[in-house]
Amino acid sequence: MENREIQKILPHRYPFLLIDRILSLEPGKKGQGMKNLTEGEWFLHGHCHYPPPLILESLAQVGGIILGSKAREESPGVVFIGLFAGVSNFTWLRYPRLGEAVTLKMELSKSLAALYRFNGEVWVDREKIAGGEILLSFIKTPPPNPSA
**CA 97 – CA 130 distance, rounded (Å):** 13
12 a catalytic residue: no
Closest CA to 9 of 82, 74, 94: 82
Closest CA to 17 of 62, 84, 74: 62
- SS in 3 state form for 39-105? CCCHHHCCCCECCHHHHHHHHHHHHHHHHHHHHHHHCCCCEEEEEEEEEEEEEECCCCECCCEEEEE
Q: Are residues 124 and 84 in contact, defined by beta-carbon separation less than 8 angstroms?
A: no
Out of 12, 45, 47, 49, the active site residue is 47
**CA 22 – CA 33 distance, rounded (Å):** 4
Residue numbers annotated as active site:
47
